[in-house]
């Protein structure tokens, strides 16, 4: 194909740009609750996320991925003109990356998956045709705007109210924490195991049946709960320890728990969402190397995974603080126990979605969970103007991505 080398260079550059946007926006979401609750500093959060995101992308990023994310368009109609798909994937990467950059600059947490899907829809509408778009998939994505935040919000509300009832408002929070924290440890270990087994390791050949995953997760949860119970019993407070000190000690325990949850989500996120950036890159490389044949799946080589992993880490470290500030401070005030409830609810919703096939955005799930924690303290605990701006950014993500992709497609055709 003409301009082979130039297309490869552009695919790598735009793929890195998209991965950079994922790191700056989507990864920052996962770390926002840890930073906002002061369980981690921003520097510590960046280091933790960089390690586990990169590990997820490199170890479980997938040997094969759909070239058309979520099979949004039927690429078979382009069999006779593969160069159109190359232009389309380049335009989609550039469009999605540009929207993520704009949203991150405004501190708005948006869905990277919806950004690339919107971009592919835009390209598909103009150059493939309305009939070639899988509209049922698009409808399910739109429904996820409502379903996933609501599910996560309800779960977070229940978790935090239980923490309030059984521990935080008790006469002796530390005594009650010794009694009930092992239950939360079980939940954390169970959910971490389920996230890892159902999402994080699915591309490494560990394709366990959902029932088998539940069994292993329960066993791991019981083991961790027993260890936690043994360790926590050694923590004692004498009569001179003030109630405030006992309360802070309990909050510190939840801070430790939420660090483990954040690490698990970072690993799972790196293993799955890296495909948003490198999937189109793999598609372009496959088309360029295979001539006129357009495959529905493309093998991803190690260097492409490294490109995505490095881009994600770079975006998080350079620009991620803006969205971290929104999630951690501007929606509602977070403490370790509140942040723990939000993170556990997010991870739980991811597990529910994996088992039921529900389309999900990690970003919208986490925001919904943070809202649920805020509502558990009353509507006044939420900063509604920030919530409104976030919701509006979700609504415009698909159309903005589509419009930008159309513009960039024509620009690329004119320039190359």
Over residues 228-275, the pLDDT tens digits come to 888 777 666 666 667 777 778 888 888 888 888 788 777 777 776 777
Tokens 């599910």 correspond to what residue?
151
Confidence category of residue 63, pLDDT binned at 50, 70, 90: very low
Contacts of 139 (CB under 8 A, 6+ apart): none
| Contact assessment for residue 339 and residue 37, using Cβ atoms and an 8 Å cutoff | yes
CA 275/CA 19 separation, integer angstroms: 9
Q: pLDDT tens for residues 125-161?
A: 887 778 878 888 788 777 877 888 999 999 999 999 9
Among the ranges 190-194, 276-280, 363-367, which has the highest mean pLDDT value? 363-367
Q: What percent of the chain has pLDDT over 90?
A: 24
The dihedrals phi and psi of 300, each to the nearest 5 degrees, come to: -105, 120
Average pLDDT over residues 8-34: 89
| Contact assessment for residue 56 and residue 200, using Cβ atoms and an 8 Å cutoff | yes
> What pLDDT does 67 receive?
44
Average pLDDT over residues 197-220: 76
Tokens of 318: 């350079």
The chain-wide mean pLDDT, for the chain, equals 82
Residue 352 predicted with pLDDT over 60? yes
Residue 65 predicted with pLDDT over 90? no
Identify the domain containing residue 278 by its residue range: 4-415
Q: What's the domain count of the chain? A: 1
> What pLDDT does 359 receive?
64
Confidence category of residue 199, pLDDT binned at 50, 70, 90: low
Residue 294 predicted with pLDDT over 70? no
How far, in whole angstroms, is CA 201 from its chain's centroid? Answer: 15
Residue 51 predicted with pLDDT over 80? yes
> What pLDDT does 172 receive?
82
CA 34/CA 340 separation, integer angstroms: 8
Residue 201 predicted with pLDDT over 70? no
> What pLDDT does 296 receive?
54
Average pLDDT over residues 374-396: 90
pTM: 0.84
CA 54/CA 19 separation, integer angstroms: 11
CA 87/CA 310 separation, integer angstroms: 24
Of 305, 313, 274, 317, which is closest to residue 51 (Cα–Cα)? 313
> What pLDDT does 64 receive?
42
């Amino acid at each position: 194909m003409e301009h082979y080398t130039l297309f490869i260079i552009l695919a790598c550059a735009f793929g890195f740009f998209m991965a950079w946007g994922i790191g700056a926006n989507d990864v920052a979401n996962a770390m926002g609750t840890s930073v906002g609750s002061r369980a981690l500093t921003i520097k510590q959060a960046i280091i933790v996320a960089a390690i586990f995101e990169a590990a997820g992308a490199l170890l479980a990023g997938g040997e094969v991925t759909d070239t058309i994310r979520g099979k949004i368009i039927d690429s078979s109609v382009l069999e006779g003109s593969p160069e159109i798909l190359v232009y389309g994937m380049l335009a989609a990467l550039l469009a999605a990356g540009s929207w993520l950059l704009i949203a991150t600059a405004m501190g708005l947490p948006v869905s990277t998956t919806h950004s690339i899907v919107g971009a592919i829809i835009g390209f598909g509408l103009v150059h493939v045709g309305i009939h070639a778009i899988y509209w049922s998939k698009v409808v399910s994505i739109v429904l996820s705007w409502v379903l996933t935040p609501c599910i996560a919000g309800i779960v977070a509300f229940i978790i935090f109210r239980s923490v309030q009832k059984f521990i935080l408002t008790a006469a002796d929070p530390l005594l009650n924490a010794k009694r009930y924290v092992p239950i939360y440890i079980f939940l954390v270990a169970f959910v971490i195991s389920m996230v890892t087994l159902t999402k994080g390791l699915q591309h490494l050949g560990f394709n366990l049946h959902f029932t088998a995953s539940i069994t292993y997760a329960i066993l791991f949860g019981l083991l961790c709960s027993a260890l936690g119970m043994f360790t926590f019993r050694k923590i004692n407070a004498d009569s001179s320890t003030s109630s405030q000190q006992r309360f802070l000690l309990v909050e510190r325990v939840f801070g430790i728990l939420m660090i483990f949850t954040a690490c698990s989500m970072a690993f799972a996120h790196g293993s799955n969402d890296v495909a948003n950036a490198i999937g189109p890159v793999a598609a372009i490389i496959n088309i360029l190397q295979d001539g006129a044949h357009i495959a529905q799946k493309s093998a991803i080589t190690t260097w492409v995974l490294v490109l995505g992993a490095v881009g994600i880490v770079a975006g998080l470290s350079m620009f991620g603080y803006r969205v971290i500030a929104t999630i951690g401070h501007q929606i509602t005030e977070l403490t370790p126990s509140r942040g723990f409830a939000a993170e556990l609810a997010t991870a739980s919703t991811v597990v529910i979605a994996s088992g039921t096939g529900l389309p999900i955005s990690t970003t919208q799930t986490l925001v919904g969970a943070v809202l649920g924690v805020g509502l558990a303290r009353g509507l006044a605990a939420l900063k509604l103007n920030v919530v409104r701006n976030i919701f509006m950014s979700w609504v415009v993500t698909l159309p903005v991505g589509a419009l930008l992709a159309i513009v960039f497609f024509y620009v690329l055709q004119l320039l190359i």
